[in-house]
Chains A and B, each alone.
Chain A
Amino acid sequence: MLKVVENFHGAVSFTVNGQHTVTYPGATTALVDTLRDTLKLTGTHVGCQTARCGACTIELNGATVKACTVLTHQAEGAIIKTIEGLADDQKLDRVQEAFRAKHALQCGFCTPGMVMSVRELLRRNPNPSDDEIRAGLKGNICRCTGYQNIVRAVRSLAIEQRAIHSAAGDVTGVGAASPRKEDKRFLTGKGRYCADIDISGQLHAAFVRSDVAHATIKSVNVSAALRIPGVVAVFTGADLLADNLGDLGCGWMVRSRDGSPMRGGRRPILAHDRLRYVGDAYAIVLAETADVAKKAAKTVQATLVSQPHNVDPLRADASTALHEDAEDNLCFDWQFGDETGVEQALEKAAHTVEVSLTNNRLIPNALEPRAAIADYDMGDETATLYTTSQNPHMARKTIAETVGFIGEHNLRVISPDIGGGFGSKIFIYPEECAVLWASYKTGRPVKWVASREESFLCDAHGRDHRTTATLALDADHHFLGMDVHTTANLGAYLSSFAAFVPTYLYGTMLAGPYRTPAVSCNVKGVFTNTAPVDAYRGAGRPEATYLLETLVDAAARQLGIDPVELRRKNLITPEEFPYQTPVALEYDSGNYQAHLNEALKAADYSGFPGRKAEAAQRGHIRGIGVSCYVEACGIAPSAVAGALGADVGLWESALLRFTPTGALQVFTGSHSQGQGHETTFAQLVSEHFSLPIDKIRVLHGDTDNSPVGMGTYGSRSLAVGGSAILKAAEKLIVKGKRIAAHQLWVDINEVEFEAGRFFARTSNEGLTLEEIVHAAYVPHDYPEDLEPGFEATAFYDPINFTYPSGTHVCEVEIDPQTGAVEIVNFVAVDDFGEIVNPLIVEGQVHGGVVQGIGQALFEEAVYNAETGQPETISYLDYALPRATHLKDIEVGSTFTPCEHNPVGAKGCGEAGAIAAPPAIMNAIANAVGKRIEMPATPSRIWAACESSTVEGEPYG
């Protein structure tokens, strides 16, 4: 007998953005799901399932809440405001305006929640201090901006108390700090991410995943799942095998020192005989709702035979073999560089310095979880796949080959707005293949969105190196040679670029910005029962830079000299460019002394002893650390990549298409996950054609409408993709000159193009770009042998990598009693070559540095050695930097142009993540007198303080 039963499947009514709304949610439905799924208010995002990320922040009765912690039934009678309710009559509100003006957003995924939190923080405190601003942002994770520009936006509202007017519609060319074109949609909740897309009639997929580290599969029983109402089908690895689905391999072939090809690691779409890590998927459940699919997945039972497991790369051997064709768990034993030269260097060295270190395993954590929606059309035998990919064309090629039932030309891959990638969305994962195949099998669209726990378990992880290295120096402290031995954890399977990252992206960077005559590098890539490891922001270059800069500081400590002086002595000088390194690369340009000097000045390096003494009076320890880096970006000259084992080319494409009225569509084969291509590329062509930026639209991510492209990674978009755009623009200008010559009755060599006008040099008679474009589409008075239309496609294959470089300086203060460390000052001075939009570039540096701070101080993916279970599977156990952990950093730049691409740009996306960790760790080592491992947690710092004598260190 129930006395009070209400709302059993009853209605819930509330007001959303001023509109009265009635819904009929289930008792356990969260408000965020009602807003997104029922009311289609998809501006409120889901980044985690643990109420930690803040992407779903909304206003409930005037106060911000995380909508994933409110049951819809609890919102009866409430007044709700979501991001969609802010902009009034198409105009952004003042918080949104300030975000746009200060470039306080990149991928836009956290932005709606962040904006809601800022509104509350300003309501409570209209004039907040920086610390109060950061405290108000504590509940919202941003992976892109490093929070600095968000703080800046809030600060501008606090101090100025007025709306910011941004200039739009003007010609905004190269070098202008133009606010971004894409921001309005992100700020108003109109960004369109994969999870926001629904296709009528869709099924929802849930994967059944291994909860053990290593086992063989005897049988999989799906009958209980099939009995659940709403479940349409369950497929296991055996079903896919029976359908002849291929498996996923690595797109890069690396050979061992004996010449044999790398072994093992191929990955079935769903495991059928063996489970190799916790999270390994072995069945897919398809149901009418995501909840039912999830519930049914829990009922699938596998009969397993447990196998011995290993998660430690240094213990990878035959006792825990994962793959039949790599019985000792060794994928490759790669040797690179000059072994003999290094032996000789070590023999004649006056000093040798050795370090052994771990580059900690990281989880990239793009705030938008991966997702895929496939829609197979039986009639046309075509399919559309929406997926969270940094390179949709590569996804199309690989997925079509893998699933087998569809031709590449019949598969349309669309990567809509992507909520951060940092490398983790380059790769082809099993899930999107399985979802496409499931749509083919069921004849219905199939949608899958990863949970945050799945992201922790199954997104490709990054780093995870164990290295021992020796640096040889002569009596004058010049570097003679470096001997490097690394074991790289590849995880349970080879991900798409897994073999490339710890070899050619690592070994080739070991010379860094220094003259080191001989370098030898041996890397053993090993399999363990952990998630696959692949490129994460920087990919190989952070590992090389961390090793090198740690060695340099260790040498300075051992020799008792200032680490800056040791660097100065060995840095390549400006006169030496182009500089051929001993590890295959030729640096085209650079001035390493310039950014070193600039950074030291900005950090007041010489004033450090005074600050250290002052801190000591308070019982605290200060340390200062420097890191110099050079990286290879603009990936890559295809022939070089091919010679090194790539099975793809690494050029980029562009299609410039003028409309008959003179507006311009730019299609690029690269893709943006927050880097602002829609603005940067528009600025590039705006400058070139003197066309107002609002007449330019940049499109990407749809394989049906852009030329085949190679996507975004390795800081390549502007250097390679931008160069393709300029090349296509050149073609159009040549065509325009021909049209102009015809109409002006002059020789083509007479025609000039300048400031948007084609004119005859002698007469100065001319035609505007608009008139030329019109003539091309209405070719009444037109050269006979010229095609009508005004569009051009270009492919650009770089002739060399680009080489951004820089110096970062970090100053820390440590409380020896608690082990707490505070970054009291951080200076980044980088040389990125030509800068198109300084606002965007600075934002990339902030974000990269903060991800570097994350690696140095907070982040580590941990597997339990005994059980093989991952211990970091939520935002409660894996610490990401939050606004409250940080202070503003200082960003500066120096300039040498890239000598070989038409933009002159070198790339800026990864620099922060490469340079920051060694600067921070060198500062900590300087403070406590010895090197400690990343992440530098309070317990590690405390232990180092306890066991070291800081007195007598070579800093003063």
Chain B
Amino acid sequence: MVDPAFHTPRTLEDATFLLADLKNVRLVSGGQWLVPRLRSQDIAPDHIVTTQYLEDLTGIRQEGDCLIIGAAETHDSISLSQTTCETIPELASLAARIGDQQVRNRGTIGGALASDPAHTDYSFALVGLDGSLITNKREIPAAAFLGTKSTAQLADDEILISIRFRIPASANYQKLAHPAANYAEAGLFISRFENGETKLIIAGKDQWPIRLIEVEELLTAGDTEAVTEFFNSRFSADPFFASRLVALLNRYQH
């Protein structure tokens, strides 16, 4: 039984090297998901690599029609960032609704997406804003990352560097939160873009975000009745969920 080692790479290159070279290694960022599991010994790595000294993983900036957020930015810094507020204010609002103040002070967007993408509110925004994940190996479009548990994974030696969102003309996120875990039991993310495009993303408990392309045109046309009808028929097996989506849609309308 060897005590695990803690590694503090200063550059992305060093971190990439470490991850490729070491066996049974875990990357730690904000630690909200990982550290409790280390304490309970549900996860027992031999090596821990911290992202805290990697400058490449920080920063919130606008690049053309995109907002790029460093993977190690905390929910709190995203919610308070002037750049976020000026480009995608609803993303700032979404970040401010995650967990609680202490979780937001420490938890990072990269950590949330890498460790528990099924439950993080960012997944809605990722799909609704044509988002993608930029790693040290590739750029993964949201659609490829989110969808099933098997795809929503980074390789063992893959480091999430930043997350790219397409800046919409407007966006709105509504959720009904689980009373204990605070994730969206029902959620609705609607984005509208300059070119007139509208995206409608929904998710429920333990479900991945789904884009409902079928009704986006109806929504653009302002035909909420038709959207409501669609919800009711699409989710007829779970009328409670459908009803909650309709309620969220009504909130959006107001």
Interface centre among A30, A51, A136, A228 (most CB of B within 10 A): A51
Q: Which of A70-78, A663-671, A782-790, A794-802 contacts B (4 or more CB under 8 A)?
A: A70-78
Q: Which of B176-213 contact A (CB under 8 A)?
A: 176, 178-181, 186
Q: Which of A864-923 contact B (CB under 8 A)?
A: 875-880, 885
- Contact between A69 and B4, CB atoms less than 8 A apart: no
CB-CB under 8 A for A30 and B38, given A73-B6, A136-B101: yes
Query: Which chain A residue shows the least CB distance to B80?
Result: A124
- Nearest-neighbour CB distance to chain B for A10, whole angstroms, equals 8
- Contact between A819 and B32, CB atoms less than 8 A apart: no
Q: Which of A591-610 contact B (CB under 8 A)?
A: none
A3 to B13, CA, bound (A): 11
B31, CB-defined interface residue at 8 Å? yes
- Contact between B5 and A66, CB atoms less than 8 A apart: no
Give the contacting residue for B240; candidates A27, A30, A74, A819; CB below 8 A: A819
- Contact between B243 and A30, CB atoms less than 8 A apart: no
| Interface SS of chain B | mixed
- Contact between B180 and A4, CB atoms less than 8 A apart: no
Per-residue CB proximity of B117-156 to A under 8 Å, as 1/0? 0000000000000000000000000000000000000000
Per-residue CB proximity of A11-47 to B under 8 Å, as 1/0? 0000000000000001110100100000000000000
- Nearest-neighbour CB distance to chain A for B244, whole angstroms, equals 5
- Contact between A817 and B14, CB atoms less than 8 A apart: no
Contacts of B239 in A (CB 8 A): 946
Q: Which of B59-67, B102-110, B217-225 contacts A (4 or more CB under 8 A)?
A: B102-110
A49, CB-defined interface residue at 8 Å? yes
A139 to B76, CA, bound (A): 14
- Nearest-neighbour CB distance to chain A for B236, whole angstroms, equals 13
Contacts of B30 in A (CB 8 A): 69
- Nearest-neighbour CB distance to chain A for B67, whole angstroms, equals 23
Query: Which chain B residue shows the least CB distance to A138?
Result: B100
- Contact between B101 and A117, CB atoms less than 8 A apart: yes
- Contact between A880 and B35, CB atoms less than 8 A apart: no
A815, CB-defined interface residue at 8 Å? yes
Give the contacting residue for A879; candidates B5, B22, B48, B179; CB below 8 A: B179
CB-CB under 8 A for A64 and B105, given A27-B6, A877-B180: yes
Contacts of B6 in A (CB 8 A): 6-8, 10, 27, 71, 73
A76 to B50, CA, bound (A): 12
Q: Which of B225-254 contact A (CB under 8 A)?
A: 239-240, 243-244, 246-247, 250
CB-CB under 8 A for A6 and B179, given A49-B39, A63-B76: no
Q: Which of B35-49 contact A (CB under 8 A)?
A: 35-36, 38-41, 44-45, 47-48
CB-CB under 8 A for A64 and B14, given A7-B6, A298-B41: no
B residues sitting closer than 8 Å to A (CB atoms) are: 1, 3-10, 14, 17-18, 21-22, 28, 30-32, 35-36, 38-41, 44-45, 47-48, 50, 52, 76, 99-103, 105-107, 176, 178-181, 186, 239-240, 243-244, 246-247, 250
Contacts of A885 in B (CB 8 A): 179
Contacts of B44 in A (CB 8 A): 28, 295
A298 to B76, CA, bound (A): 38
Across the A-B interface, give the 6 residue pairs with the lowest CB-CB distance, nearest first: A139-B100, A27-B6, A879-B180, A817-B247, A879-B179, A138-B100
Contacts of B244 in A (CB 8 A): 817-819, 938, 942
Contacts of A946 in B (CB 8 A): 239
A190, CB-defined interface residue at 8 Å? no
Per-residue CB proximity of A289-305 to B under 8 Å, as 1/0? 00100110010000000
Q: Which of A535-553 contact B (CB under 8 A)?
A: none
A33 to B100, CA, bound (A): 22
- Nearest-neighbour CB distance to chain A for B118, whole angstroms, equals 13
A167, CB-defined interface residue at 8 Å? no
- Contact between B21 and A139, CB atoms less than 8 A apart: no
- Contact between A74 and B99, CB atoms less than 8 A apart: no
- Nearest-neighbour CB distance to chain B for A897, whole angstroms, equals 41
- Contact between A70 and B35, CB atoms less than 8 A apart: yes
Give the contacting residue for A74; candidates B28, B178, B181, B247; CB below 8 A: B28
4 extra interface residue pairs, beta carbon distance < 8 Å, beyond A7-B6, A10-B6: A30-B39, A50-B36, A63-B106, A69-B107
A6 to B176, CA, bound (A): 44
A453 to B50, CA, bound (A): 28
A898 to B122, CA, bound (A): 59
CB-CB under 8 A for A877 and B41, given A64-B101, A820-B176: no
Per-residue CB proximity of A936-953 to B under 8 Å, as 1/0? 001100110010000000
- Contact between A69 and B32, CB atoms less than 8 A apart: yes
Contacts of B39 in A (CB 8 A): 28, 30, 33, 49, 68
A8 to B14, CA, bound (A): 16
Give the contacting residue for B14; candidates A4, A294, A875, A877; CB below 8 A: A4
Interface centre among B47, B99, B240 (most CB of A within 10 A): B240
Give the contacting residue for A817; candidates B9, B22, B105, B243; CB below 8 A: B243
A661 to B3, CA, bound (A): 58
Q: Which of A254-294 contact B (CB under 8 A)?
A: 291, 294
- Nearest-neighbour CB distance to chain B for A367, whole angstroms, equals 15
CB-CB under 8 A for A71 and B28, given A28-B48, A451-B40: yes
